[in-house]
Amino acid sequence: VHLVESGGGLVQAGGSLRLSCAAFGVNDGALSWDDYSIGWFRQAPGKEREGVSCISISRGRTYYTDSVKGRFTIFADNAKNTVDLQMVSLKPEDTAVYYCAASRLGCSFSEYSMPEWGKGTLVTVSP
């Protein structure tokens, strides 16, 4: 599977951005889009990569790290094989490169459990 992120940019604190992750090659023989869980991770300068949110495509279950609960919403468009991350009330500490990742083993906030990765999109939140 090939993942491509889009939607990053520069925004002022309190603003909103919507990131999108497009997945290609997910319907391949015995596998289908429903087999995947898609997660969003981020890596701020000088910090380790952290899990932000994840969605199980087949079950529709969503997960969020505590720091983004109530501000970020993850949702899937199963017709387009995309997973978007709507971010509101952004804070400077949300500044990071945001990555989407895919797994057929369920959602995880451990990057080692997500074998497929996009190249990332930069989100910068100014004070």
Judge whether residue 30 has pLDDT over 90. no
Q: What is the mean pLDDT of residues 105-127?
A: 94
Tokens of residue 22, six digits:
């497009």
Q: What is the mean pLDDT of residues 6-22?
A: 98
Q: Which residues pair with 112 in a beta bridge?
A: none
Alpha-carbon distances of 61 from 37, 49, 83, 97, 105, rounded to whole Å: 9, 22, 13, 24, 14
Nearest Cα residue to 73 out of 58, 89, 59: 89
Judge whether residue 5 has pLDDT over 90. yes
Alpha-carbon radius of gyration of the chain: 14
Task: Say how far apart CA 52 and CA 62 lie, in whole Å.
Answer: 11
Segment 53-98, tens digit of pLDDT: 999 999 999 999 999 999 999 999 999 999 999 999 999 999 999 9
